[in-house]
Amino acid sequence: DIQMTQSPSSVSASVGDRVTVTCRASHDISRYLAWYQQKPGKAPKLLIYGASSLQNGVPSRFSGSGSGTDFTLTISSLQPEDFATYYCQQADSFPFTFGPGTKVDIK
């Protein structure tokens, strides 16, 4: 299985801050990477697919970049509704695997 890691595991930030989350794959996954946002008690929500394509309806303050083994999710200006846990997921080979998550909470 392809192993996914994320850093940091948690970050404290304020409204308006720029937040960056990093995801690393154990093997080259090209651009087969998605990002999800999950709030407590809720299902994950797709934000980004194909490493950098924004899912319909997702605010443009979210962006993704990277290819190969290193990827980044950036929130350009953190909003109150963005406090959540973020997961990356590789879709290069089965079984699809998720990163352990990055929790973004209020400073």
Partner 1 sequence: QVQLQESGPGLVKPSQTLSLVCTVSGGSVSSAGYYWTWIRQHPEKGLHWIGYIHYSGKNYYNPSLKSRLTISLDTSKNNFSLKLTSVTAADTAVYYCARVVTARDASDIWGQGTMVTVSS
3-class DSSP state of 65: strand
Report the nearest approach of partner 1 to the CB of residue 62 (Å).
Answer: 14
Q: How far apart are CA 96 and CA 107, in angstroms?
A: 33
Report the nearest approach of partner 1 to the CB of residue 13 (Å).
Answer: 21
- Residues 30/68, Cβ–Cβ less than 8 Å: yes
3-class DSSP state of 18: coil
Q: How far apart are CA 75 and CA 91, in angstroms?
A: 22
* Nearer to partner 1 among residue 18 and residue 59 (C-beta): 59
Question: Contacts with partner 1 in 62-91 (CB under 8 A)?
Answer: 87, 89, 91
- Residue 24, interface with partner 1 (CB under 8 A)? no
- Residue 34, interface with partner 1 (CB under 8 A)? yes
Binding residues vs partner 1 (CB under 8 A) = 32, 34, 36, 42-46, 49-50, 53, 55, 87, 89, 91, 94-101
